[in-house]
């Protein structure tokens, strides 16, 4: 595996490559990232992983400076997974003083995560576009856990006529159901126990849908009995279709149920695709 830290070298290495799989990350790699990388290695001749903690997608009061950075273990993980190139650019390479800015769509970019984190998706799309143009992959791999992000990236690829295929990858969970996240390291033992209620609420909703319940209002009420408890600050429960339009009735194979909470100072999101 070759580690590359500058734009010229990544372009030179991939200039003539046509079968490239790309996994963009912010580091602090875990089994969720590993599942993306393994899928990429199974489906492509060359695999590129990027690690870049993107400052433009963090708000002023968020955890950019404290975001987990585990470079040594990240490098080892990439080596063991058979990554060909690990791209770790610095901020000055990725951002200039006179940036042309990308803006998220007025509707889908400013609801749910975008409403609570205004500007977050602008910064996310900015860096994803830059990385896709630099790596020029055939396939790029993103997890369904960040469902709204995934939807916006697919929309950007379509709008800008990019040739990359965006591969949607399933959420990876711990054995007890907790969705893997780099921010899980912030949780104390008792907070982690509370966090299990997130996936429990989603499982309850899925079970009810399996018995024929289709009212989003009824499902939300059931989910709130699990999430409206001491220690969990519930931000939202949302029911949307694949285009992130709010729905009142479950549409099988076209529904995503999303949850966002704070547990202590740690913000966690999760979802289930129905």
Q: What is the pLDDT of residues 42-95, one digit of tens each?
A: 999 999 999 999 999 998 888 888 888 999 999 999 999 999 999 999 999 999
Quick one: which of 40, 53, 45 has its CA closest to 81? 40
Q: What is the pLDDT of residue 69?
A: 93
Q: What is the dihedral of CA 135, 141, 143, 149, to 10 degrees?
A: 50
List, for residues 227-239, the tens digit of each pLDDT value: 999 999 999 999 9
Helices (H), 211-257: 216-227
- What does the pLDDT read at residue 61? 83
Q: In the predicted model, what is the mean pLDDT of residues 31-38?
A: 97
Instruction: Look at residue 77 in the predicted model and tell me its pLDDT.
Output: 98
**With DSSP H G I counted as helix, E B as strand and the rest as coil, what are the percentages for the chain, rounded to 5?**
40, 20, 40
The pLDDT score that the predictor gives to residue 13 is: 93
Residue 118, CB half-sphere, CA atoms under 13 Å: how many?
2
Cα(45)–Cα(24) distance, integer angstroms = 17
Catalytic residue chosen out of the listed positions 30, 33, 120, 165: 33
**pLDDT-derived band at 270, boundaries 50, 70, 90:** very high
The per-residue pLDDT for range 111-170, each reduced to its tens digit, is: 999 998 999 999 999 999 999 999 999 999 999 999 999 999 999 999 999 999 999 999
Q: Angle 270-273-193 (CA atoms, 0-180°, nearest 5)?
A: 30
Tell me what the mean pLDDT of segment 176-198 comes to. 96
pLDDT in tens, 190-240: 999 999 999 999 999 999 999 999 999 999 999 999 999 999 999 999 999
Neighbouring C-alpha atoms within 13 Å toward the C-beta of 137: 29
User: Is residue 17 predicted with pLDDT exceeding 80?
Assistant: no
* Residue closest to 71 by CA, chosen among 22, 28, 125: 28
DSSP 55: G
Cα–Cα distance, 220 to 222 (Å, whole number): 5
Q: What is the pLDDT of residue 122?
A: 97
* CA nearest neighbour of 81 among 44, 46, 49, 34: 34
Mean pLDDT, the chain, rounded, equals 96
Confirm whether 165 is a catalytic residue. Answer: no
Q: Write down the pTM of the prediction.
A: 0.95
**What does the domain layout of the chain look like in residue ranges?**
2-169, 182-269
pLDDT(16) > 80: no
- Arch. (CATH architecture) of 2-169: 3-Layer(aba) Sandwich (3.40)
Q: Decide if 257 contacts 274 (C-beta within 8 A).
A: yes
**Looking at the domain 182-269, which fold is it?**
3.30.1300
Q: How many CB atoms lie within 10 A of CB 88?
A: 17
Closest CA to 143 of 270, 7, 8, 237: 270
Instruction: Band the pLDDT of 18: cuts 50, 70, 90.
Output: confident
Left, alpha or beta for 25 (phi > 0: left; psi -120 to 50: alpha)? beta
């Amino acid at each position: 595996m070759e580690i590359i830290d500058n734009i010229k070298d990544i372009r030179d290495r991939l200039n003539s490559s046509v079968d490239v799989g790309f996994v963009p990350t912010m580091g602090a790699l875990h089994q969720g990232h590993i599942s993306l990388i393994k899928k990429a290695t199974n489906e492509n001749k060359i695999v590129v992983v990027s690690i870049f903690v993107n400052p433009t997608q963090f708000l002023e009061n968020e955890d950019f400076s404290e975001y987990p950075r585990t470079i040594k273990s990240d490098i080892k993980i990439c080596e063991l997974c058979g990554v060909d190139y690990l791209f770790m650019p610095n901020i000055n390479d990725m951002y200039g003083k006179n940036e042309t800015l990308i803006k998220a769509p007025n509707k889908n970019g400013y609801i749910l995560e975008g409403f609570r984190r205004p500007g977050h998706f602008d910064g996310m799309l900015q860096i994803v576009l830059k990385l896709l143009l630099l790596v020029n992959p055939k396939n790029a791999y993103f997890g369904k856990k960040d469902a709204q992000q995934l939807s916006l990236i697919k929309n950007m690829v379509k709008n800008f006529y990019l040739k990359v295929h965006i591969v949607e990858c399933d959420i990876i969970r711990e054995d007890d159901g907790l969705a893997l996240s780099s921010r899980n390291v912030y949780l104390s033992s008792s907070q982690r126990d509370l966090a299990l209620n997130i996936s429990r609420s989603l499982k309850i909703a899925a079970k009810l849908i399996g018995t024929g319940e289709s009212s989003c209002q009824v499902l939300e009420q059931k989910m709130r009995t699990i999430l409206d408890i001491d220690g969990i600050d519930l931000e939202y429960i949302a029911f949307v279709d694949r285009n992130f339009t709010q729905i009142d009735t479950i549409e099988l194979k076209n529904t995503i149920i999303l949850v966002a909470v704070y547990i202590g100072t740690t913000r966690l999101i999760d979802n289930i695709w129905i």
